[in-house]
Chain A
Amino acid sequence: MYKFFPHTEEDLQEMLKAVGVKSVHDLFADVPEAALFKKDYELPESLSEIDLRLFFEQLTEPAYAQQLVCFAGAGCYDHYAPSVVQNLIQRSEFLTSYTPYQAEISQGTLHYIFEYQSMIAELTGMDIANASMYDGATATAEAAMMAWGNAKKATRVLVSETVDPKVRRVVETYAHFHGFPIKLVPAADGAIDRNALDKELAEGGVAGLIVQQPNYYGIVEDYTGIADALHDQKGIFVVNANPSDLAILKTPAEWGADVAVGEGQSLGIPMTFGGPGVGYMACVEKLMRKLPGRIVGQTLDNRGQRAFVLTLQAREQHIRRQKATSNICSNQSLMALYVTIYLSLMGKEGLREVAEMSYAGAHSLRDKLIATGKFKDTFPGQPFFNEFCVDYEGDLEALLDECTANGYLAGVQVGEKTLMLAVTEQRSTEEIDELVEIIQQFKEEEAKA
């Protein structure tokens, strides 16, 4: 007997008799002999709950999982979330349910997805959002496919070089196999090169353009005029936007985007070594039927009550098979719930406060790093939000090792000399000052000796 298996010997005998076989192995009599696995798996022996707990506790000791003060971003941010969020998403009615096909006993899930869609639509300014995607990278790849599928006579999809390279290579992968070319629009001074873009647009045949805001380097780019130029040739404008910053920043809709995508991890989701986060995807009404993924809509039940239900399913794989808008089935529903509860608590003011604090912290840290005399702005004069790049005069790897040794993750190295740092509302003035102090005190020669 094992704790997850309720079958007593008596149960087994009665059930086997009802089925008309002698042993459970007889249930596999239709499997060809050569396909049967008759050995023991080479796996550890069963652990009791006490031992299991101990096992994972050992793996989380500081030597194996060092808790660094995090100034790294690059697509994963250390934001705060109220305790309520994690507690509520652990409710088993949410946690242990599945896709809400049976609307009558799934109103909880359908209801929060409707709220989630509303919040994403509001943050991005778009008309309609889907029920979530795996992550920001795949959402961006889906947007590229959407642009390609929408185009009549296009020859390529453009991607700005200032889009996160990790996202870019997912887009490149999807495009390669789906069968359409990606053209990289180079960057100038940390932002999309408008001359290069103009040339591409003048050539024609552009199915769409993908940009990121703030871009990979943390710079808030000015995308004025791009949407109109794209729309002139029926191209689609895709803006990958950090939803947390949208409390302050111009919305994808205000930039004239047709599709908004991004990674929702910045909305308070713990970093958890990179996942689970949640991808979001929203679009203008005219592209509604081309949007991938689940969509929840409002309707009435036969008792006249407002109810929610999966809708526009004719786009989806379980109905359309190879003609579906995408192959996506499960998404990141529970993380969409996470974001919904987070945004309900933070609300209109809280998200702005988070943005202000992160902005203030990042700008203060940048000033202090420049003041050490050891750094220069990588992109002088470019506006940034809560993430920025600086060039270090010395051996950057040695400096980062020193910071790690002192319990600080000082950022992400994005070039030989270039360090990218992110600040969230969780970083106190003391932590910022201590990081600067460690850097100030660091003497390469001593480290080498």
Chain B
Amino acid sequence: MNRTLYGNLIFELSKKGRKGYSLPQDYDRTHTTAELPEALRRKEAARLPECDELTVVRHYTNLSHNNFGVNDGFYPLGSCTMKYNPVINEEIAGLKAFAGLHPLQPAETCQGALEVYYNLQESLAELAGLSEFTLNPCAGAHGELTGLMVIRAYHESRGDVRTKVLIPDSAHGTNPASAAVCGLEVVEVKSNANGTVDLEDLERLVQLEGPNIAAMMMTNPNTLGIFEPNVLEITEMVHKAGGLMYYDGANLNALLGECRPGDMGFDVMHINLHKTFSTPHGGGGPGSGPVGVRKGLEQFLPMPRVVQVPAEKEGEESFKVDWGTSVDGERGKEIAVGSFFGNFGVMLKAYAYILSLGREHVKEVGPLAVLNANYIKECLKDDYLLPIGGLCKHEVVFDGLVDKSTGVTTMDVAKRLLDYGYHAPTIYFPLLFHESLMIEPTENESKETLDSFIDVMHRIAQEAKTDPELVKTAPHDTPIGRVDDVLAAKQPITTYWKTLDK
């Protein structure tokens, strides 16, 4: 990463008349848009930049130098599973023959794509211990929403009106938000002193809300990185009340090789392919949030679906797209969460990853990720406050520094880490602690990387004692210093055009 700021906006590099493209000129110009009635045309041309090709190349290359990715260094952002994104997967997703496929072209002309799609559905079902998957949702939160729709459709099909969803207070913000978008009311379940679901509180809520409970959403390991020891009792309790169990797959990476959500009693779940299955996060998407269901719920999965067409001879099966019956726009019983079948380009990468690891290496993912997290936990708990001891899974949450007398906060520690060339952990989440510092190392990081990070974390703890100002004013060695969030929100400037008004 370049430590000096590259500040130009592309609009500031624009000069009238410059071009960054070339198009054929020998086309039939019998018709022009001047034929369109004036009432249908825009009055003034859009003020897009006018730049030559090299200017554009340099601009975005320079911008990239002010960014930090997994390829730049250790990225222990908790709950985000910033694992290595294998380069070969980019090559495969970039194959021209995939890029050129139209989603509505006849199935017999795109069997290769449909096969990848179908096999990925099947592989995820095997890894999750569930019956079937849809790959249509484009992100984790989109998957949560889709999964909750599936759950509601299931209850509706039985004429059962259920409007409440149980969510532990440690859950990701997307859980309650997805529930609200899906028209469900959130009932918060308390955590106990160990950071896991308080069974007594759950029992009370199940008694209180019984027939209103549509589902319970759970992340396991939870957002503290702790495995829910009572998961089997919890699923049984909710099932008895007639609710379904939803598994938020955000933390699935911890369990690869050791346990499967379906075997724990979960009915519906989503997987973040951009976490557990190594597809790049891309600065915030495109992701992919496939949703899986147990046997008996398949018919509620959204349309369109990629299905196998049986053949007389084994191995000669083909694949097709089932668009469902409600393509005329009238919502039948079917759910639709996108125009086509989701982010196919992302699925190619995830499937390539699964094939690379294969059955023998997939099962090493969870144990190694968990080992790395526990190693960090053990090595840092002298300087950083570990609110809940015992084993963690893929991530560990500290509650700031042990020594609070210096006034150095979690924010300060995070910013100081940037000076040392690390991405910061997730901070101030989960909300159970005031100074949460959530570290997720992933299975890809070597002992040397972890040791260096641990060393730096100790050094920062030391600095907090000897030179607290140095930490409180960090970062010092980044393209920009701390930003004025209040100024940004008070009079929002969200476009270049607004800067011209000033």
Is A349 a contact partner of B283 (Cβ separation < 8 A)? no
Q: Cβ of A22 < 8 Å from any Cβ of B?
A: no
Contacts known (A5-B443, A350-B21); A318 close to B173, Cβ less than 8 A: yes
Give 15 new A-B contacts, CB below 8 A, not counting A108-B67, A327-B141, A344-B20: A4-B356, A35-B264, A37-B259, A42-B359, A91-B60, A95-B71, A104-B475, A115-B496, A117-B494, A177-B183, A301-B482, A324-B173, A363-B31, A367-B30, A432-B28
Q: Which listed segment binds A: B78-86, B197-205, B462-470?
A: B78-86
Is A337 a contact partner of B283 (Cβ separation < 8 A)? yes
Q: How large is the interface on A (under 10, 10 to 19, 20 to 34, 35 or more residues)?
A: 35 or more
Which residues of B are found within 8 Å of A271, using beta-carbon distances? 99-103
Q: Cβ of A122 < 8 Å from any Cβ of B?
A: yes
Distance (whole angstroms) from the CB of B439 to the closest CB of chain A: 14
Q: Cβ of A196 < 8 Å from any Cβ of B?
A: no
Residue in B51, B53, B260, B358 whose CB lies within 8 Å of A37: B260
Is B66 a contact partner of A111 (Cβ separation < 8 A)? yes
Distance (whole angstroms) from the CB of A63 to the closest CB of chain B: 8
Which residues of A are found within 8 Å of B179, using beta-carbon distances? 322
Closest chain A residue to B282 by CB distance?
A: A334
Residue in A42, A59, A122, A327 whose CB lies within 8 Å of B48: A122
Closest chain A residue to B36 by CB distance?
A: A383
Q: Cβ of B329 < 8 Å from any Cβ of A?
A: yes
Closest chain B residue to A125 by CB distance?
A: B42
Residue in A27, A272, A429 whose CB lies within 8 Å of B28: A429
A-B contact pairs, 19 of them (CB 8 A): A43-B127, A46-B357, A76-B104, A88-B61, A93-B69, A102-B414, A106-B283, A121-B494, A166-B340, A248-B41, A254-B43, A273-B103, A273-B110, A274-B341, A299-B483, A330-B281, A350-B19, A359-B33, A360-B31
Interface residues of B in 305-343 (CB under 8 A from A): 326-331, 334-343
The complex places the Cα of A129 from the Cα of B497 at a distance, in Å, of: 12
Is A30 a contact partner of B391 (Cβ separation < 8 A)? yes
Residue in B32, B182, B482, B485 whose CB lies within 8 Å of A178: B182
Contacts known (A47-B356, A145-B181, A347-B50); A2 close to B364, Cβ less than 8 A: yes
The complex places the Cα of A330 from the Cα of B283 at a distance, in Å, of: 9
Closest chain B residue to A6 by CB distance?
A: B446
Q: Cβ of A235 < 8 Å from any Cβ of B?
A: no
Residue in A12, A170, A425 whose CB lies within 8 Å of B23: A425
Residue in B152, B264, B329, B358 whose CB lies within 8 Å of A172: B329
The complex places the Cα of A87 from the Cα of B338 at a distance, in Å, of: 28
* Interface residues as binary, A360-390 with B (CB distance below 8 Å gives 1, 0 otherwise): 1101100100000000000000010100000
Is B263 a contact partner of A35 (Cβ separation < 8 A)? yes
Q: Cβ of B209 < 8 Å from any Cβ of A?
A: no
Counting chain B CB atoms within 10 Å of each CB, which of A2, A68, A104, A298 scores highest? A104
Distance (whole angstroms) from the CB of A73 to the closest CB of chain B: 9
Distance (whole angstroms) from the CB of A293 to the closest CB of chain B: 10
The complex places the Cα of A361 from the Cα of B86 at a distance, in Å, of: 41
The complex places the Cα of A119 from the Cα of B48 at a distance, in Å, of: 7
The complex places the Cα of A170 from the Cα of B303 at a distance, in Å, of: 10
Contacts known (A35-B259, A112-B60, A274-B340); A93 close to B1, Cβ less than 8 A: yes
